[in-house]
Structure 1
């Protein structure tokens, strides 16, 4: 079903934070202090592919993890660290806490949310579910703990397709939230009967199909990599559609010398690390009134920086707290996703 008439909430997008520039010596000293704090507090750093490259490199250098949201969730359950420091957006920190209630979970800034999370408030979503009691409720990981607690399944972009295929094979009707573009892509790929919440990612929705066509003509040997949170007319031009992990893998495995990448620019650090000889071209967001060719970087992800990472390790004042009753209910659909992923095996989970 088209999402045009379904619920949504306007999202106020924050400005990109302006962090003070650091000299090479200043950055090295700051990283050294953070390493000491991580060791002293038996803490580990978990960073998403969309965060700043300094955070991604520091996570790997200190025994942490750089990953998509599914692997971030898994890693938190596997490490023996007493504190998880999640560099990403709030739903990732909440997921870590849901899975690890005995651990302290910190974030550089608890105000780092997500347009999908912000646009799907728990009260309105619960009423939407109540109005359609015959649907299985599947929510994207980019949602609050309260929304997850109302769901039957939680999925990431790396496992959404096989989960929906599984439910469709059982004849289930599906209520999907919050990303209408990802939901419509899954609907098209699976043929499932889906009712879509009217939400969107402010980054991926800005990719422009007409501008992408122009870039493709300029780079005829480039493969186009698109995250399925993008609009249909952008997805339809893709050589590969998938989660962050699948897009990274495509850069390393496909023979193309160039890649046009339609997702958050933070992913380029890992792509360049794994395939330094490949040419990476940001997909265009430029349109009427645009101020840049590609503005594809989440302002909430940009709230994570070395400076406030050090601060939170010193103060501990940005700690994730979740009501125990909400945590217990939200744990059920998250565990269902992780168990399903394990049963399916990595090779069967497209985009894992």
Structure 2
């Protein structure tokens, strides 16, 4: 089996923000805020799309107002299917950019345009362009967690739920792959597919924090628990998994597997949907520090946490956090995204 080789030069430095501290809302204030947001959505012909890693209140509101709670792949699909003229994306910036790339005629808002991603920031477009130019004989496959400028250099865009099938398809055609930016997901895909892959040296600050040795200790305490792992995690964590998959695939595992307990190695925002669908199951966060899974070791993306009811209401009133993508870049970036969507529709 060919080996995956890490390239692309030293990993870019990423400044990780502190976790936002939003004021607590009373039950009455929360209800009133949701009602105001629902009215604003209706008045502006807008629909709310929330990622599984955002706050549970936002996920609940998206469902209550006819929007969608989804992973990156389903968020992209939903944006093209809805007739609403405004998409309000609760997630991180690349998700809003993907929505705009696929729907240039629609207005795309986000609660905070500063909500970015360590993978996105760790793959600067100029450096990535040079990496691609140095390997012209490779098919360029980029993860969704990248900027529009990076996608514009790609042949394919993939999400975690479809990365392996796409790479298996390319490997069957004996194509050599240049992969960016998550080296852990790339390594996992390479091991499962046998493809020849050259990896950008990037990582998700949330998933890279999971610890293999600490997970072993938690498993010993919960021998009946199934281990669910997102493939952005290190090999030492992935190797202990009963299920490796995207957010949607991990949620499905909780609802379909008979285990009474699950140890979950991904962003803690996913627990809201898991508890909604499987309230009788016990969910245990995989540890990122120390010797056990405690509140202090729960993994949560600080950029995802920039989405809240308070700034969602504000952006609907002011409209100042609008995603814009230069048309020349959009025309190049849309091709790899459409290729993924067409491939997914045929499966």
Work out whether the TM-score is over 0.5: yes
Question: 2-side partners of 1:294 and 1:239: how far apart?
Answer: 21
CA contact (8 A) 2:287 2:294 kept: no
Given the alignment, which residue of 256, 260, 263 partners 1:257? 260
Cα RMSD between the aligned structures? 1.3
Q: How does 1:166-185 map to 2 (within 5 A)?
A: 166-185=169-188
| SS of residue matched to 1:215 | helix
Q: How does 1:276-287 map to 2 (within 5 A)?
A: 276-287=279-290
CA contact (8 A) 1:286 1:292 kept: no
Structure 1 segments, 4+ long, off by >4 Å, are 290-293
Partner of 1:238: 241
CA contact (8 A) 1:97 1:105 kept: yes
Cα offset for 1:40? 0.3
Cα offset for 1:3? 2.0
Would the alpha carbon gap of residues 12 and 293 (structure 1) be closer, same or farther in structure 2, given more than 3 Å must change? same
| SS of residue matched to 1:94 | helix
Q: In the alignment, does 2:28 pair up with 1:16?
A: no
Partner of 1:341: 344
| SS of residue matched to 1:158 | coil
Given the alignment, which residue of 283, 291, 310 partners 1:307? 310
| SS of residue matched to 2:114 | coil
Q: Deviations over 1:18-37 (max 9, x none)?
A: 11110000101100100000
Cα offset for 1:7? 4.0
Q: How does 1:49-64 map to 2 (within 5 A)?
A: 49-64=52-67
Cα offset for 1:291? 9.5
Cα offset for 1:287? 3.8
Q: In the alignment, does 2:259 pair up with 1:266?
A: no
Q: Deviations over 1:245-299 (max 9, x none)?
A: 00000000000000000000000000000001000000001149x9964230000
| SS of residue matched to 1:3 | strand
Given the alignment, which residue of 163, 166, 172 partners 1:163? 166
Partner of 2:116: 113
Q: In the alignment, does 2:45 pair up with 1:42?
A: yes
Q: Deviations over 1:71-125 (max 9, x none)?
A: 0000000001010000000000000000000000000000000000000010000
Question: 1-side partners of 2:300 and 2:7: how far apart?
Answer: 26
Q: Deviations over 1:150-172 (max 9, x none)?
A: 00000000000000000000010
CA contact (8 A) 2:215 2:287 kept: yes
Partner of 1:350: none
Would the alpha carbon gap of residues 145 and 245 (structure 1) be closer, same or farther in structure 2, given more than 3 Å must change? same
Given the alignment, which residue of 203, 207, 210 partners 1:207? 210
Q: In the alignment, does 2:301 pair up with 1:298?
A: yes
Q: In the alignment, does 2:30 pair up with 1:27?
A: yes
- State the TM-score, normalizing by the size of structure 2: 0.97
Q: How does 1:67-106 map to 2 (within 5 A)?
A: 67-106=70-109
- Structure 1 stretches of 5 or more lacking a match? 345-352
Q: Deviations over 1:220-264 (max 9, x none)?
A: 000000000000000000000000000000000000000000000
Q: In the alignment, does 2:125 pair up with 1:122?
A: yes
Question: 1-side partners of 2:268 and 2:7: how far apart?
Answer: 29
| SS of residue matched to 1:196 | strand
CA contact (8 A) 2:225 2:262 kept: yes
- State the TM-score, normalizing by the size of structure 1: 0.96
